[in-house]
Homo-oligomer: A and B are copies of this chain.
Amino acid sequence: MSDNENYVKEITNIDEDFAKWYTDIVRKAELADYTETKGCIAIRPYGYAIWENIQNYADKLFKQSGVQNAYFPVLIPESLLQKEKDHVEGFAPEVAWVTEAGGEKLDEKLCIRPTSETIITTMYSKWLSSWRDLPFVYNQWCSVLRWEKETRPFLRSREFLWQEGHTIHETEEEAKKRTLQMLEIYVKVAEEFLSIPVLTGIKTETEKFAGAEETYTIEAMTYDGKALQSGTSHYFGQNFTKPFDVKFQNREGKLEYAYQTSWGISTRLIGAIIMAHGDNRGLKLPPKVAPIQVEVIPIALHKDGVEESVSKIYERIKTKFRVEADFRKEVSPGAKFNECEMRGIPLRLEMGPRDIENNQCVLVRRDTFEKITVKLEDLEQTIEELLEEIQINMFNECKKRMNAKTTEAHNLEEFEHNINSNQGFIKAMWCGNKECEAKIKELTSAKSRCMPFVQEKIDTKCVCCGKEAEKLVIWGRQY
C-alpha cells in the first residue's frame, strides 16, 4: 500500500460520512481542536491564519466604504438586553450569564454578548445629537457567545469570532443602501476571495434576525448540497432606536429617531471553505486565502547539492508568494505530498537532482493534480498564473455543483423527491403564508433560504397549498 493510501485512510470518505469527514479535516489539518470548555474550540495557528487573511481582505473593503472600527464591552446588563422585545425573545434563551464577580454576587446579571445591538445602540444615544453627526458607521471584530446545544467546529460553536457592524443614519433610504452595500461586500469576500459562489436575497419573516425589519443573506452550498448561511445584513428601521432613544435634531430642527443597520460575517466562513472545496485528500484552499500558497518539497534530499539548490529557489520565491519549505529528513517526499494535500496548499513545488540538472522544477496543482514542469527562469510568472487559474477554477467547480444541485419544484411531491434524490437548493413558489413554510420544513427538513433578488415566476401557485403564489423562494436543508 502506498504512503498516499495509508494517509488518506485516516480521513473518513467524503461520500460515506460527510459530517465525520468534516471533523477529520478540521483536526488533521490542525485548523482547530476541542477544548476543556464544552462547545468551544481552540483555533490553531493554521486555522487562525485563514481567519486573519479573511479579516484583512474584508476590513480593507469595509474601510474603503467608510467603516470605522471601535470596541464595546463584552458584558451587557440584563436590563439593556430586555429593551427590545423581539430581540430579547430571540437571544435570551441562548446567552451565558455572569452572576458573580470579584468575590461577590452581582446586583444585576450581566450577559456575555450574543451580538451587540443593545449595548452599542445605548452608546449611540449618548453620542448623537444632530444630523451633522450622522452617519455612525462602526464595526467591531470580536468574539460572541451563544449557548448552542449541538456544536460543530467553525459552523456552530458556542463562542465564535466575527465582525459586527452597527450603523445609524439620517434617513431610511441611506440605511437601506448601507444594508445592501455591506451585502455586496460579503458577496465579494465569498466569491472573489474564497471562490465560493453564493445565493443572495432577503429572508422571510420567519427566518429574519430577531428585531430586524429586513434580513439579507448570502447562502453557500456545501459539497453534500446543504445550505450554509455565510453572512447577513439587517435593516432595523427604528426598531431599536425608539426603545433606546437614539434621536437627533434633523435638518428641519425637529427631533427624529435614527435609522439603523447591522451586519456580520464570522469564522463560520472557515467551515464554508472546508465544506465547499474539500475532497478525499483533505482541505483545498483558494490561493487568495491560503496561508501557504506554495509548498517547496525537495526530492532526494540526501544527494549532494539538493538542499542548497532547493533552498535558493525557496528564498527566491518567498519574496513574492506565501511559501513554506519542508526540509525534514525523517519524512519521505511521498508523506510530505500527502500532508501538503491534506492542508489544502494550492501548489506544491518538487525539485530533485534531475530537475536541478535541467534548470527546472515541477509544480503540482491541488485542485486538478496536474503536474507542470517549469523552467526556473519562468517560475514566478508561472506560479502567479497558476494561482490565478486555481482561484477561478475552484469557483467554477463550486458553481457547477451548485447549478447541478439546484432544481425546481411545482408541488410537494416533486419537492420531496428532489431534496431526497439530489439534495441541494430547491426553487419553488410560495404564497407568503408562514404555515406553508412550516409545513415544508416539517415534511422535508428544508427551510426557506431566501427570496432571491432576481424573482423569476416559475409557477403561479404556491408549491405547498396551491393558492396564488407571491414569491419565488429558494429552499434547502442547512448546516
Contact = CB atoms under 8 A, between A and B. Distances in A.
Nearest to A45: B68
Nearest to A149: B102
A35 interface: yes
Given A40-B75, A95-B101, A96-B100, A45 B33 contact: no
A44 interface: yes
A45 B73 contact: no
B73 A37 contact: yes
A69 B48 contact: yes
Interface string A204-247: 00000000000000000000000000000000000000000000
B70 A48 contact: yes
Contact of A98 (B41, B45, B112): B112
Q: Is the interface of A mostly helix, strand, loop or mixed?
A: mixed
Interface string A92-124: 011111111111000001101000000100110
Given A42-B73, A71-B161, A101-B147, A123 B52 contact: no
B42 A72 contact: yes
Contact of A119 (B35, B47, B71): B35
Interface stretch (A137-145, A256-264, A293-301, A309-317): A137-145
A70 B40 CA distance: 14
A93 B98 contact: no
B101 A37 contact: no
A320 interface: no
A102 B95 CA distance: 6
A161 to B, nearest CB: 6
A70 B96 contact: no
A449 to B, nearest CB: 26
A73 B49 CA distance: 17
B73 A35 contact: yes
A51 B330 CA distance: 44
A76 B43 contact: no
Given A37-B119, A49-B69, A143 B74 contact: yes
Contacts of A73: 35, 37, 40-42, 159
A128 to B, nearest CB: 13
A466 interface: no
A100 B119 CA distance: 21
A174 B51 CA distance: 30
A77 interface: yes
A378 interface: no
Interface in A19-43: 33, 35-37, 40-43
A126 interface: yes
A52 B73 CA distance: 17
A80 interface: yes
Contacts of A126: 33
A345 to B, nearest CB: 16
A41 B72 CA distance: 7
Q: Which of A94, A96, A103 has most chain B Cβ within 10 Å?
A: A96
Interface string A127-152: 10000100000100011010101000
Q: Which of A71, A77, A119, A161 has most chain B Cβ within 10 Å?
A: A71
**7 closest A-B pairs (Cβ-Cβ)?**
A102-B147, A45-B68, A96-B101, A40-B73, A43-B71, A37-B73, A97-B100
16 contacts: A33-B123, A33-B126, A35-B73, A36-B119, A37-B75, A37-B77, A40-B75, A42-B70, A43-B72, A45-B68, A49-B69, A74-B112, A96-B98, A101-B147, A102-B147, A102-B149
